[in-house]
A = this chain, B = another copy of it.
Amino acid sequence: MSESCLIAKLDHYVDLTVSDKDLLGKLEDEEWHVDRKHQLRDGGDEVDSLYVVKTGWLFSYTILPDGRRQVLQLHYPGDIVGIPDLAFEHATTAIETLTGGCLCPFPKKALDEIFEQSPRVTALLFSIGMVDHVVLLDRIRAISRMSAMERLAHFLLEIQSRLRITDKDIGAEFELPLSQDVIGDAIGLTNVYVSKSFARMEERGDIRRDGRKIEICREDELRELCDFHDRYMRIDTSWFPEDA
State the A residues within 8 Å of B (CB).
Answer: 48, 62, 64-65, 68, 70, 72-73, 83-89, 92-93, 107-109, 111-112, 115-116, 119, 122-123, 125-134, 136-137, 139-141, 143-146, 187-188, 224, 227, 229, 231, 235-236, 238-241
Q: Which of B73, B109, B111, B188 is the one whose CB lies under 8 Å from A143?
A: B188
How many identical subunits does the complex contain? Answer: 2
A136 contacts B134, C-beta separation under 8 Å: no
Q: Which of B87, B89, B136, B187 is the one whose CB lies under 8 Å from A131?
A: B87
Write the nearest CB–CB distance from A238 to chain B, whole angstroms.
8
A84 contacts B119, C-beta separation under 8 Å: no
Q: Which of B83, B119, B140 is the one whose CB lies under 8 Å from A136?
A: B140
A115 contacts B107, C-beta separation under 8 Å: no
Chain A binding surface, main DSSP class: helix
**Chain B residues, CB < 8 A from A48:** 239
Write the nearest CB–CB distance from A187 to chain B, whole angstroms.
7
Which of A65, A131, A141, A188 is packed against the most chain B CB atoms within 10 Å?
Answer: A141
Write the nearest CB–CB distance from A58 to chain B, whole angstroms.
15
Write the nearest CB–CB distance from A67 to chain B, whole angstroms.
11
Q: Determine the distance from Cα of A134 to Cα of B140 in the docked complex, in whole angstroms.
A: 13
Write the nearest CB–CB distance from A32 to chain B, whole angstroms.
21
11 A-B residue pairs with Cβ-Cβ distance under 8 Å, sorted by A, are A65-B224, A65-B227, A83-B133, A85-B134, A87-B236, A92-B137, A92-B231, A115-B122, A126-B129, A140-B143, A144-B188
Which of A107, A125, A136 is packed against the most chain B CB atoms within 10 Å?
Answer: A136
**Chain B residues, CB < 8 A from A128:** 87
Among residues of B, the one whose C-beta sits closest to the C-beta of A117 is B119
Q: Which of B85, B127, B140 is the one whose CB lies under 8 Å from A86?
A: B127
Q: Determine the distance from Cα of A68 to Cα of B142 in the docked complex, in whole angstroms.
A: 12
